Structure 1
């Protein structure tokens, strides 16, 4: 995949999913499908670039807690859709509230609990009802809605990371390349580090207890694929029986996104 650098330095995990090669030798088209961290922080300096990308759909994967606190800057002429993929009332879903309570934060995330929490997040992203409905919606919007499209969460690494892995896998990109794209988020977490360090200080949790939640790891992503095998037997069965995506939708996605 090409390296497009930092398209929006103020949203460092904003990037194009174009350029990936598929198993059949086709290429994901540039400029149609973008992934990002939160889009409330786009600076005045980056605004002309952001507005000039031709984005016509913005899909916000955050919970209502996050959306209400930090509303997106929506490009002119773009459709905005809140598409939740996580139970907003689940334990740990509202990071700010959880980490603002030192006792609750220590109970949830200290002594290795943050790592266990992350593995569970990835299992939930492929099994919970909200996630199945939300990711189906994401794929259908990518296949049939106006493009270009950007989807994002807060850090652009976990909920967005699985969304990107799902879309690229559906398009026929090799697993190794999907994982490489996923791990690229680690180079783009300046914004996440800033606010997570602030939350860590307020919670009284040592940084090493919080750090597993600030980066992506191949074994996190592997957990999602493994859980799919456990629940559905195969990725294809997950698509059909879990996400309930039609063959027509997948074909439309490929026709639109592949050159």
Structure 2
């Protein structure tokens, strides 16, 4: 069963946050399936209510990996129940200044925004890979699961990380893309744009775009003979560590 069909993705409904979901239930090409209750993805967790804290507490999280930039995290610290350790793994929003500039000038188009987002995704697939390497290394450490990773929207930095993980586990690309695009129906944004921002600009910025992820995954995998070769060379997951990761997360 793929994302967007039936009960997948399994969403954790919250009042003060959105786009929190379990990465369990996805079938792999070799007939296995990702386990429920081990790895979660979400948007920022700074606005959780007391009821939300109880809901997240039931997940028994051991680790929360925060992919937000340092200032993003300082402005909206995560609220979490006892027992969950926060590990900062910052991916700074390097296109933010350019984006603010074109928005404030009122000259942005949807294509401008898509171009800036494409630059960010290219960075995820190249110079930011060490952050994802650290994320997967954390998953391999004893006692770290269940684990949740998130950024601000749970859309771009988190979306690429989830896509990498599912790809490493052997989930087909079509299902990976469906999980990524589920953000478009799950994320509740509270972003306020400058007056006069064109609707197409706001819509482009707030949505997940399949071509961006497709291009980033292809960029990351270029030059590698296989997924396993990429995992070893780029992510520090040799055959033994990759097998262990799969054994942990797949059933």
Q: TM-score, normalised by structure 2?
A: 0.88
Q: Which position in structure 2 is the counterpart of 1:124?
A: 123
Q: How many angstroms does 1:22 deviate by? A: 1.0
Aligned mates of 2:81, 2:126 — CA distance in 1: 32
Contact 2:11 2:20 in 1 (8 A): no
Aligned-pair CA distance for 1:210: 2.7
Q: Which consecutive unaligned segments of at least 5 residues does structure 2 have?
A: 2-6
Greater share of helix: 1
User: CA 1:237 to 1:219, structure 2 compared with 1: closer, same or farther past 3 Å?
Assistant: same
Partner in structure 2 of residue 205 of structure 1:
197
Among residues 47, 51, 70, which one is paired with 2:57 in the alignment? 51
Q: In the alignment, does 2:145 pair up with 1:147? A: yes
Choose 40-49 or 163-172, whichever is displaced more: 40-49
Q: Secondary structure in 1 aligned to 2:194?
A: helix
Unaligned runs of 5+ in 1: none
After TM superposition, list the pairs within 5 Å mapping 1:67-216 onto structure 2: 67-84=73-90, 86-87=91-92, 90-92=94-96, 98=100, 102-103=104-105, 106=106, 109-110=108-109, 112-128=111-127, 131-145=128-142, 146-190=144-188, 192=189, 194-195=190-191, 198=192, 200-201=193-194, 204-216=196-208
Counting matched residue pairs gives 244
In structure 1, C-alpha distance between the alignment counterparts of 2:59 and 2:229, rounded to whole Å: 35
Query: Whole-Å Cα distance in 2 between the matches of residues 74 and 49 of structure 1?
Result: 10
CA distance in 2 between counterparts of 1:25 and 1:135 reads 26
Find the aligned partners of 2:223 and 2:198 in 1 and give their Cα distance.
36
Q: Distance in 2 between matches of 1:246 and 1:219?
A: 29
Q: Distance in 2 between matches of 1:159 and 1:176?
A: 19
Contact 1:143 1:250 in 2 (8 A): no
Q: What is the distance in 1 between the residues matched to 2:241 and 2:176? A: 21
Answer yes or no: is the 8 Å Cα contact 1:11–1:37 preserved in 2: yes
Q: CA deviation at 1:201?
A: 2.9
Corresponding residue of 2:237 = 245
